């Protein structure tokens, strides 16, 4: 990556009317959260079939210990990193309308971002599979598994999207509406392989917008639709980019 690419991307952001960010696992790796895909990823250690909605419904007692280990014990200790904070800085300066994230770690909110559409849900809430009531995960003990609904005793499911489960329509609509308004989309730490989330940047592109991609290596987006590709760690490049935009 050249400084010229960074300057050009910063210029596009300065000139933009409405900027959004589309983030994935890559932005949270520097917070100690392993990605799902790739070497060392969660799916290299656990069978994704265990996280099918249908399997979970049949075998919640088998799946919950894994959910606790992978998603709750680990995420409890994770803190936002410099990339999350850079997006907050952009928002505080009126240069970021909102974030669509595929992550379920809520680190954008922990950093202070206020408009975050969690496309695949979040670990912060659980829903009763019997009475459909939602609960704050902090209010639910995981000492005995599976956790039960305080209201009806039904089994609780984390409020994130399992395999074989659709994206909630209100989240999809909010994310799409943001993308339709945006004239710049920052693609950060995601290769866009998971559908339908991966199509969000295309909405911006199809409306004549500009795509600024920050990833460790090239992706499906890089040569197909990205206008600027900044290669490297989000925690290093995003603060640099934001500094360049705001100077």
Which residues 6+ apart lie within 8 Å of 230 measured at CB?
Answer: 1, 5, 6, 9, 212, 213, 214, 237, 241
Catalytic member of 84, 108, 120, 170: 120
Specify the residue, 67 or 185, whose C-beta has the smaller distance to Zn ion.
67
Interface stretch with Zn ion, choices 11-19, 31-39, 148-156, 235-243 (CB under 5 A): 148-156
CA distance 57 to 130: 11
Instruction: Check binding of 131 to Zn ion (CB under 5 A).
Output: yes
Q: What are phi and psi of 160, to 5 degrees?
A: -125, 160
Which residues 6+ apart lie within 8 Å of 141 measured at CB?
Answer: 147
Nearest to 28 by CA among 117, 111, 126: 111
Active site residue 172: no
User: What DSSP state is assigned to residue 156?
Assistant: E
Specify the residue, 22 or 135, whose C-beta has the smaller distance to Zn ion.
135
Which of 41, 154, 168, 239 lies at the binding interface for Zn ion (CB under 5 A)?
Answer: 154
Q: How far is the CB of 131 from Zn ion (least distance, A)?
A: 3
Which of 8, 11, 127, 130 lies at the binding interface for Zn ion (CB under 5 A)?
Answer: 130
Which of 149, 182, 188, 241 lies at the binding interface for Zn ion (CB under 5 A)?
Answer: 149
Which of 1, 49, 54, 152 lies at the binding interface for Zn ion (CB under 5 A)?
Answer: 152
Which sequence positions are flagged as catalytic? 120
């Amino acid at each position: 990556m050249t400084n010229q690419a960074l300057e050009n991307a910063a210029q596009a952001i300065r000139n933009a009317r409405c900027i959004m960010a589309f983030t994935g696992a890559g932005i949270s790796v520097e917070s100690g959260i392993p990605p799902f895909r790739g070497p060392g990823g969660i799916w290299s250690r656990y069978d994704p079939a265990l996280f099918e909605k249908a399997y979970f419904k049949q075998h919640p007692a088998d799946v919950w210990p894994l959910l606790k280990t992978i998603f709750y014990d680990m995420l409890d200790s994770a803190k936002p990193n410099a990339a999350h904070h850079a997006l907050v800085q952009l928002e505080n300066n009126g240069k970021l309308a909102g974030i669509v994230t595929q992550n379920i770690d809520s680190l954008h909110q922990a950093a202070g971002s206020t408009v975050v559409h969690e496309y695949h849900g979040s670990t912060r809430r659980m829903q009763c599979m019997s009475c459909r009531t939602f609960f704050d995960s902090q209010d639910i003990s995981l000492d005995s598994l599976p956790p039960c609904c305080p209201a009806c005793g039904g089994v609780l499911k984390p409020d994130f999207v399992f395999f074989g489960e659709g994206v909630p329509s209100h989240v999809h609509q909010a994310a799409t509406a943001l993308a339709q308004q945006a004239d710049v989309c920052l693609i950060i730490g995601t290769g866009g392989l998971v559908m339908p989330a991966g199509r969000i940047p295309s909405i911006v592109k199809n409306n004549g917008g500009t795509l600024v991609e920050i990833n460790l290596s090239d992706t499906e987006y890089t040569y197909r639709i990205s206008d600027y590709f900044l290669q490297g760690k989000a925690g290093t490049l995003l603060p640099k980019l934001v500094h360049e935009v705001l100077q």
